[in-house]
Amino acid sequence: MSTLKAIRGTRDLLPPETALWNRIEATARSVFARYNFGEIRTPVFEDTALFARGVGEETDIVSKEMYTWEDRARAQSEKTQTLTLRPENTAGVVRAYIEHQLGESGQLQKLYYIGPQFRRERPQKGRYRQFSQIGAEVIGPVSAGSESPLRDAEVLEMLATLLDELGISGWTLQLNSVGSSADRERYNQALREALVPLAPQMCVDCQRRAVTNPLRVLDCKVPADQPIIETLPRIADSLDADSVAHFAAVTAALDAAGVPYTRNHRLVRGLDYYTRTTFEFTHGGLGAQNALLGGGRYDGLSEMIGGPRAPGIGFAMGEDRLVLTLLALEDAAAQVKVDAYIAPLGENMNAAALNLARELRHVGLHIELGDGSFRLKKSFEAADKTARCIVILGEDEVKSGILTVKTFATGIQTKVARAELAAFLSE
Ligand code: ATP
Ligand code: MG
């Protein structure tokens, strides 16, 4: 029988690396709380129509990367539905915003999420079919200030703070504006015309995009196409006065807060819902998959999926890529040793050892418990691998209340009264 393995593009996360994942999530939660974001958890699968409408039929995600299936009706009262594993979380958050009428409060909704997303992409380093995103959205009625450029700047400043607190140095913030949907329409037209004579000299993907979705040509990575792309019109020249002023206010606030950025005229992002500010944080340590996170403003998204007018801005960070970056920067997942290893001398000491471990764990110490069937040599070897100290527990120790503790770093063996043990191990 062939052995079963995790599906291509999925993977098991194991200790000690999972400690790093937990540290990243704890840091994100701490930063989000300081900026007054609350957590939202939406279902992992949704009606396929949500992504078709919310992400866009023309995008790579919807056209070829979604895990979609027919969910058969189990009763007369049910309908057979077409469902999809979420490829991203913004559409789900906006659906929840609409469904729970969160806009009725008149307040901005500031929501964050942490969880798995699914895309049928070609797996490679930093690109998986199940991956985890940490994201946040600021969304609400216009009267709550949801269109304000200050919201964009605050989200970007929060991201700079989060990356700094995670210890990810050397990131670059790439910033652009794709304008209003009218600006984008104008730009699409300008691009389409400019591409008529140029597309035949470009890669096959670009030849297709030039017709179906000209904006996507700007994402092309084929080296030979780059000089041609540089000659194309820039979206900055298609923006109306409001979009120009909005972008200027975002950059002015970033300058005031000392958040560095570079303008990237080609940053149009892969999803159809973006308007005005778009951004990506990249990191050189990641190689080809260099985007740590991406996001932008999506002023028309709520209406696209049948909701009220609710402008918003958000981002999604690739948690897998944060982990890769930190692993490259330091030995971030190094095994941390527990405070002590309790070694019972003989199986008749196992119960007493469990009780001692329980006492020490109750006061917050990290304890590994050995087994009385091990020879002393084996206990020492196991302890040296996992703990800073070994505590020997035999009949004499239980009777006298004096325990023998060896500290591996110094090699010193000490007699410690049981009542003093927790304090000794805490040092
Ligand atoms: P990329 O250009 O790397 O494909 P994207 O534009 O598809 O990214 P988004 O949909 O905006 O990315 O997702 C935001 C972030 O999620 C990305 O910047 C990346 O860090 C992460 N991400 C996206 N797809 C994957 C994947 N298949 N595996 C791991 N992380 C991913
Ligand atoms: Mg992608």
220 and 275 assigned to the same domain? no
CATH number of the domain residue 68 falls in? 3.30.930.10
Last-in-domain residue among 286, 303, 329: 329
Cα separation of 193 and 24, whole Å?
46
Last-in-domain residue among 222, 239, 256: 239
pLDDT at 36: 98
Cα–ligand 1 centroid distance for 300 (angstroms): 22
- pTM, full prediction: 0.92
Residue 273 has pLDDT above 80, yes or no: no
301 and 255 assigned to the same domain? yes
Q: Give percent of the chain above pLDDT 70.
A: 99
26 and 134 assigned to the same domain? yes
Q: Flag whether 11 is in a domain.
A: no
pLDDT at 277: 97
CATH number of the domain residue 352 falls in? 3.40.50.800
77 and 222 assigned to the same domain? no
Tokens of 8: 């291509």
Q: Flag whether 133 is in a domain.
A: yes
The pLDDT confidence band at residue 270, using thresholds 50, 70 and 90, is low
Residue 58 has pLDDT above 80, yes or no: no
Cα–ligand 1 centroid distance for 163 (angstroms): 17
Q: Flag whether 4 is in a domain.
A: no
pLDDT at 43: 98
Q: Which atom of ligand 1 is nearest to the CA of 281?
A: 18
Element containing residue 303 per DSSP (H, E): helix 301-304
Q: Flag whether 6 is in a domain.
A: no
CB atoms within 10 A of CB 179: 26
pLDDT-wise least confident of 68-77, 228-237, 266-275: 266-275
CB atoms within 10 A of CB 211: 11
For residue 94, CA distances in Å to 57, 301, 304, 314 come to 18, 8, 10, 11
Cα separation of 228 and 332, whole Å?
42
DSSP-derived letter for residue 233 is P
Cα–ligand 2 centroid distance for 121 (angstroms): 8
Q: Flag whether 10 is in a domain.
A: no
81 and 208 assigned to the same domain? no
By most ligand atoms within 8 Å of CB, the mutation choice from 10, 86, 124, 131 for ligand 1 is: 131
Cα–ligand 2 centroid distance for 270 (angstroms): 7
173 and 246 assigned to the same domain? yes
pLDDT at 335: 77
157 and 188 assigned to the same domain? no
> For residue 330, which phi and psi values (nearest 5 degrees)?
-160, 175
In this structure, the residue with its CA closest to atom 19 of ligand 1 is 318
- How many Cα atoms are found within 13 Å in the side-chain-facing hemisphere of 86? 22
Q: What would the pLDDT profile of 108-142 be if each residue is shown by its tens digit?
A: 999 999 999 999 999 999 999 999 999 999 999 99
Residue 284 has pLDDT above 90, yes or no: no
Cα–ligand 2 centroid distance for 415 (angstroms): 60
Q: Which residues are within 8 A (CB) of 227 and not within 5 positions of it... i.e. 6 or more apart?
A: none
| Opening angle at CA 185, ends 182 and 188, nearest 5 | 150
Residue 103 has pLDDT above 80, yes or no: yes
Cα–ligand 2 centroid distance for 158 (angstroms): 23
36 and 111 assigned to the same domain? yes
Q: Which residues are within 8 A (CB) of 98 and not within 5 positions of it... i.e. 6 or more apart?
A: 302, 305, 306, 307, 308, 310
Q: What would the pLDDT profile of 380-403 be if each residue is shown by its tens digit?
A: 999 999 999 999 999 999 999 999
Closest listed ligand to the CA of 294: 1
Element containing residue 81 per DSSP (H, E): strand 81-85
Q: Flag whether 160 is in a domain.
A: yes
Q: What would the pLDDT profile of 166-220 be if each residue is shown by its tens digit?
A: 999 999 999 999 999 899 889 999 999 999 999 999 999 999 989 988 988 998 9
State mean pLDDT over 6-18: 96
pLDDT at 1: 77
Residue 318 has pLDDT above 70, yes or no: yes
State mean pLDDT over 1-7: 92
Cα separation of 418 and 427, whole Å?
15
| Domains of the chain: total | 3
By most ligand atoms within 8 Å of CB, the mutation choice from 272, 321, 324 for ligand 1 is: 321
State mean pLDDT over 278-304: 92
59 and 100 assigned to the same domain? yes
Q: What would the pLDDT profile of 70-84 be if each residue is shown by its tens digit?
A: 999 888 888 999 999
342 and 321 assigned to the same domain? no
232 and 283 assigned to the same domain? no
pLDDT at 408: 96
Handedness of CA 144, 150, 156, 162 (dihedral sign): negative
Q: Which residues are within 8 A (CB) of 160 and not within 5 positions of it... i.e. 6 or more apart?
A: 173, 259
In this structure, the residue with its CA closest to atom 26 of ligand 1 is 127
On average, the pLDDT of the chain sits at: 95
Ligand 1 shell residues, CB under 6 Å: 88, 119, 121, 126-128, 131, 133, 270, 289, 291-294, 316, 318, 320-321
Q: Flag whether 319 is in a domain.
A: yes
Strands 45-47 and 81-85: antiparallel
Range of the domain at 402: 337-426
Last-in-domain residue among 307, 329, 351: 329
Residue 67 has pLDDT above 90, yes or no: yes
Q: Which amino acid does the sequence have at 370?
A: G
193 and 169 assigned to the same domain? no
Q: Flag whether 344 is in a domain.
A: yes
DSSP H helical ranges for 167-222: 181-198, 204-212
